[in-house]
Amino acid sequence: MDRNVGETAGQVTDGAVAGSADRRARSLPDLLEQHPVIASVTDDDGLRAVLRAECKVVFLLYGSVLDLPSTVATLKDHGKIVLVNVDLLEGFTSKEVVVTYVKRHTAADGVLSSKAFMVRAAREQGLLAVHRFFLIDSMSYRNLARQVKLSKADSVEILPGCMPRVIGWVVADIDVPLIAGGLVCDREDVFAALGAGAAAVASSNRDVWAM
């Protein structure tokens, strides 16, 4: 990550994060109702752009053990609600200790993961938790509701998010808000997803952020 992007007025410390209010005090359903367009940030250019955007909720989809605390701090300094995709962080393994690291060493509000045990760990540690699903076939769809029961997620994100019929199926199967993510490219995709029952959409397209 560019050094200038990650500069903050101060460092995030264990004590500062541990002393903050429980991040689960924020209701994710309420957040999504108020802010139905989520900015997915995949690189430094996107990070710089989202700092100027009106999107309140940010899905951070890149980073490493070295720069994650400063990146999250930069977003928080700009008033963002930040959820980190722990599956995509460089320098980490797919173990629950990653969630503990995010909780102790960053000011992130929550995490995203495609792994039920990681999502459940986030819930147990007081973080907001989004369970991601890549719906590539009927088997992955049929497995979704069972995995959500295991993870106890606050919300589910399905990818791709440009499938209104499938969104309707999933909404009928779960009792938590659904986020449509991936290939949400324009205004029509956003309205189609929301019209099919999605609580929010997540997109890396900056034109969508401006809606």
* pLDDT confidence of residue 26: 63
One-character DSSP codes across 70-118: HHHHHHHHTT-EEEEETTS-BT--SSTHHHHHHHHH----EEEES-HHH
Cβ–Cβ < 8 Å for 84, 107: no
Q: What is the pLDDT along the chain (211 residues), one digit of tens a residue?
A: 554 454 433 444 444 444 344 565 468 999 999 999 999 999 999 999 999 999 999 999 999 999 999 999 999 999 999 999 999 999 988 899 999 999 999 999 999 999 999 999 999 999 999 999 999 999 999 999 999 999 999 999 999 999 999 999 999 999 999 999 999 999 999 999 999 999 999 999 999 999 8
Domains of the chain: 28-209 (3.20.20.70)
- The H or E element containing residue 65 is none
Give the integer Cα–Cα distance in Å for 150 and 123: 12
In 3-state terms, what secondary structure has residue 157? strand
* pLDDT confidence of residue 93: 82
- The H or E element containing residue 1 is none
* pLDDT confidence of residue 27: 85
